[in-house]
Amino acid sequence: MNSPPSACLVLNGKASARDDVRAAVHAVRGEGHRIEVRVTWERGDATRFARQAAETGSEIVVAGGGDGTINEVVGGLMDAAGGPASRPSLGVMPLGTANDLAHSCGIPMDPLVALRLALSTPAVAVDVGRANGRHFLNVATGGFGTQVTAETPAELKKALGGVAYLLTGLTHFTSIRPARGRLSGPGLEWQGAFLVLAVGNGRQAGGGYQLCPDAILTDGLFDVRVVPQLPAVEFARSLGSLFANGLDAVRQKVVGGRVPWLEVETDEPFQTNLDGEPMTATRVRYEVLPHALQMKLPPGSPLVA
């Protein structure tokens, strides 16, 4: 009888004391699974733990946390020596505030069910995004949405969930400055002032907002969406709907396309969030790395072509 694959759970330190997480680990160990737990203390730990797990022979690395933890784990797996065939599979135990990637993929929110899925389900080869050398798996966002995400207090997000972003947006919309830039990719050329930029390998960000509704994790393409600058009155009228319904609220204004790479150049330094992790530059090249990582996804996941 074959022994179960070895696994490493890279657990965000904020979730380490949760009784349901501890119970989930004890349960799968009782079922015969071999799983080591590494708990993060500060930024960068998850990347380092994931890379070490890959280099010491773990077959599965489970990211236990939110979208930021997943981003760090993906970075560590991609940085490890060897190619896609030698990297561990990525599993996800959603323990964050928004869990945007997990919700999009259909990964269960229950820690035990998610952990069993990560340890037992066959893996699927998924694409990984890269922006100026940094990896991301879900969505890269820029503009007003990025500003709101960065300025929303963690305590408010914990108390109100996605509604917290709407409240922050309502209090900041009078100070919004659109970015001005140029976008270039296969079949997509655009320039002007814009409020929101989303480059999606996955579909949603910011606590459930559908920014890239056509994105697929396995098709080798980004779903790119740009909201050009809107007149102040129209933007104020659309703001609540924008946070409630995503970019569908301003569908007729959106510029978009599906591309394997995209170059963005802005007149001033521009902040992009890669799965919520910030990066600032005036020039960014986004590119898809097709089927670069094996990932444990539920059967029938909507993000699998």
Catalytic residues: 277
Encoding tokens for residue 139? 């969505």
Cβ contacts of 48 within 8 Å, gap of 6 or more? 76
Scored b (16 or more CB within 10 A) or e, 215-250 reads bbbbbebbbbbbbebbeeeebeebbeebbeebbebb
Cα separation, 50 vs 63, whole angstroms: 9
Q: Which of 20, 3, 223, 209 is nearest to 115 (CA)?
A: 20
- Closest CA relative to residue 46, chosen from 7, 8, 99: 8
User: Which residue type sits at 178?
Assistant: P
Q: Could you tell me if 101 and 127 are in contact, meaning their C-beta atoms sit under 8 angstroms apart?
A: no
Beta strands in the chain (DSSP E): 6-11, 34-39, 60-65, 89-94, 123-131, 134-136, 139-143, 179-185, 188-200, 204-205, 209-210, 222-228, 255-259, 261-274, 277-296
Chain-centre distance for alpha carbon 185: 22
Token representation of residue 94 = 């959603």
> DSSP character for 254?
-
CB 99 within 8 A of CB 69: no
